Amino acid sequence: MGGVAVVDTNVLLYSVNRSSERYEEARGIINSLDRIVLPTIVVYEFVWNLAVAGASPQEAERTLSKILLNERVTLADDRRYLLSAFELFGNLGLKHYNDSVILAIAKEVGTLASYDKKLRNRAGKVGIKAIPEVLE
């Protein structure tokens, strides 16, 4: 596959959860990319989800360190997208703000890795390629 993609929280979560049915596919997506762009909001959501799953702070730090120290990972400076995210709302409410920030970054990058069907649908409407190409 190669290339660059903005990676959504759910892909990261599946890629570290060996018991997930999407583990292998998510790992494949992550491993196939030349560069991974992570919005900081994705990092916050990732850690929050680890906490909900019962991970200790030490486990979360260890897991996040492996991700952030990977030379292919780039953190997106969300500040550049905090206002432009509002342009991508359409008729949606504020509860979609986080996804709109992710979408604004993906619009610049061109590709979004996500399993979120609604976000993928929104991405397609503004010309962003979604991976994986097909969701089962």
What does the alpha-carbon distance between residue 3 and residue 20 come to, in Å, rounded to a whole number? 25
What DSSP letter does each residue of 38-55 carry, written as one string? EEHHHHHHHHHHHHHTT-
- Sheet containing 35-39: which strands, arranged edge to edge? 73-76, 35-39, 4-7, 111-113, 129-131
Residue 85 has pLDDT above 80, yes or no: no
pLDDT digits (tens, 9 = 90+) for 3-23: 999 999 999 999 999 999 999
State residue 89's pLDDT score: 67
pLDDT digits (tens, 9 = 90+) for 101-132: 999 999 999 999 999 999 999 999 999 999 99
Cα of 34 vs its chain's centroid, Å: 15
pLDDT confidence of 133, banded at 50, 70, 90? confident
Q: CB of 78 within 8 A of CB of 39?
A: yes
pLDDT digits (tens, 9 = 90+) for 26-74: 999 999 999 999 999 999 999 999 999 999 999 999 999 999 999 999 9
pTM, entire model: 0.91
Considering only residues 88 and 132, tell me which one the structure prediction assigns the higher pLDDT.
132
